[in-house]
Chains A and B, each alone.
Chain A
């Protein structure tokens, strides 16, 4: 693989993978490790990708699988105060900070489903395929997450979406 092709993949998918990883582990260092590991696997794989969508879904699957492994690992010891990170991200933007904390307080499975749905634009069926779960389970998680977000964010979160 050429450096140019690799750089293009990093440019296209680096931030997307980081956000997904962060929704799992809730700290910057682990999220960066997970993304770096995904791109190392990308460099080493002999797999040929049929399309951009194929590559994108493969990278997401790698990050999801590695994130799940990390969360059950006895060696996971990193913790980060979300307040510090939110301060650097949303200084002077209380509305965004509020949404950030409300999402981070969701249970991990709901948090990831919400992110894939609202940010990445995946359908319930596609999220089910990525997470290896039944679409009806994903729907239930999304409904539960919406309820929690509405309860936390009040009028800042619409109840009909």
Chain B
């Protein structure tokens, strides 16, 4: 018998735990579902809070010209907290802290300081970035210091 045969005869008796490895696929799938569920739960919270403002904004801005603005928060929002003044503060998973002014459906201000009414939609991308789409009733919108990507579309006639 060669050394190789002797060695293989000895160590072929060692086997991994099939029971443990059999669970890996299911455990990993479960973890993924939990992660997606958590992201959707965050999105649901964001949407629920901002929908309140959307109703108020619709009531005020009915029949006026609108401009669409897309605001994207960079990263997964982990904490969205309404403040006493009607604004919201939030934190992202990447450690960004920011605020959104949203008093009674008002999100942003014009140059002259007058407020701009708005409605909102919130959605979560596959990479967990939170997007918020707003329809505003004015022009010359100030983004302020809201973190993320802010894109103003052409205003309608």
Using a CB–CB cutoff of 8 Å, the interface residues on chain A facing chain B are 3, 6-7, 10, 14-15, 17-19, 22, 28, 31-32, 35-36, 39-40, 43-44, 89-90, 95-96, 99-100, 103, 114-115, 118-119, 149, 156-158, 161
B21 at the A interface (CB under 8 A): yes
Q: Which residues of chain A have C-beta atoms less than 8 A from B25's C-beta?
A: 3, 6-7, 43
Which residue of the partner chain A has the closest CB to B17? A32
Given contacts A6-B25, A14-B21, A36-B24, contact A157 B11 (CB under 8 A): no
Nearest Cβ in chain A — how far from B134, in angstroms? 34
B2 at the A interface (CB under 8 A): yes
Query: How far is A100 from B22 in the complex, measured between Cα atoms in Å?
Result: 28
Q: Select which of B13, B18, B21, B28 is within 8 A of A90 by beta carbon.
A: B13
Asked whether B18 lies within 8 Å of A14 as measured between CB atoms, the reply is: yes
Given contacts A15-B16, A96-B13, A118-B8, contact A161 B24 (CB under 8 A): no
B9 at the A interface (CB under 8 A): yes
Query: How far is A157 from B6 in the complex, measured between Cα atoms in Å?
Result: 8
12 A-B residue pairs with CB within 8 Å? A10-B18, A14-B18, A15-B14, A15-B15, A36-B21, A36-B24, A39-B21, A44-B28, A99-B6, A99-B10, A157-B6, A161-B2
Question: Chain B interface residue count: which class?
Answer: 20 to 34
B20 at the A interface (CB under 8 A): yes
Q: Which residues of chain B have C-beta atoms less than 8 A from A6's C-beta?
A: 24-25
Query: How far is A119 from B7 in the complex, measured between Cα atoms in Å?
Result: 7
Asked whether B24 lies within 8 Å of A157 as measured between CB atoms, the reply is: no
Extra pairs beyond A18-B15, A35-B16 (4, CB < 8 Å): A10-B18, A32-B20, A44-B28, A118-B8
